[in-house]
Chains A and B, each alone.
Chain A
């Protein structure tokens, strides 16, 4: 089965530091997403990305967050100045209409802000 891979699997960072989470989408997928899940809470949509630009973002995705696909392969989520409440599991997901719009999730990056 095709895979979305994410790195790092776990990162501990100090409050105020910048964090970059990386995702390698399934090749030939064109739509990319970030979701997050705070421990004990539901999975929440952050942002969708298509054709090298954000197509939709949630109210969670404020100016502290940014996404890009700098080299045509990695899809990154940057948190500029982390806060304690950014501690969560961050899931990358990808899809493509040619695959029946099935959404494939990566295994997640667990971010702990201390």
Chain B
């Protein structure tokens, strides 16, 4: 089983649509969870952290279910500029501090006119 598994893409949606991405992770010792956005041939950029209580940042809502080891991202009123690859990322820090991020393969989103 892959460490972090995401919906296959691409998702092609019209502007204004609502789109949801799902992700599952295998390591129950994972401690923190994120959605990153990656544009073509660019570095990953943090979109938002994901908390157990669920959290919202503008048009973006993230949910975490630790029992099911499941993470989701909802984008409302999608814009052309939302077109990118969305990476589900899990942090399982090694002992002694620091971080170790495990990335999913990403889901590509294309928002069209």
CA distance A75 to B106 in the complex (A): 28
CB–CB B42/A107 < 8 A? yes
From A41, A45, A97, A105, B44 is in contact (CB under 8 Å) with A105
| B contact residues around A43 at 8 Å (CB) | 38, 44, 87, 101, 103
Would A106 and B43 be within 8 Å (CB), given that A42-B105, A45-B102 are in contact?
A: yes
| A contact residues around B102 at 8 Å (CB) | 45
| A contact residues around B87 at 8 Å (CB) | 42-43
In the complex, whether B58 has a CB less than 8 A from a CB of chain A is: no
CB–CB B98/A45 < 8 A? no
CA distance A20 to B21 in the complex (A): 37
In the complex, whether A111 has a CB less than 8 A from a CB of chain B is: no
Would A33 and B44 be within 8 Å (CB), given that A55-B94, A56-B94 are in contact?
A: no
CA distance A18 to B40 in the complex (A): 27
| B contact residues around A35 at 8 Å (CB) | 101
CA distance A42 to B31 in the complex (A): 20
CB–CB B43/A103 < 8 A? no
B-side residues, CB < 8 A to A, are 32, 38, 41-46, 87, 94, 96-106
